[in-house]
Amino acid sequence: MLPPGAPRIDGREGVEGFWKAAIDMGLGDLVLTTLEVADHGDLATEVGSLTATVPGEDGNKVSLAGKFIILWKRGDDGTWRLHRDIWNFDA
């Protein structure tokens, strides 16, 4: 996982820990909208937009919007798994 403004995060435990911490800090109302999917055999790319809320300095919710690209990889068992995930927020 390649989160904005942070080091790369590897492995299921690292990714789960990242999202748990984000939710504990107040991330909410996350909506991912897929805009495009391209199949490349055992790889697929997904491009989309996102919205979310986070607590502002005054404690009130602040809305964020952004975009993402996810690289999916098909395992030997045929199951698609998230392989790479990168996103950023609009200015």
pLDDT digits (tens, 9 = 90+) for 5-17: 999 999 999 999 9
Domains of the chain (ranges; CATH) run 11-89 (3.10.450.50)
Inter-residue contact 4 to 87 (CB < 8 Å): yes
Residue 23 backbone phi and psi in degrees, to 5: -65, -40
Runs of H (alpha helix) within the chain: 11-24
* pLDDT tens string 23-58: 999 999 999 999 999 999 999 999 999 999 999 999
State pTM to two decimals.
0.89
Distance, CA of 81 to CA of 91 (rounded, Å) = 30
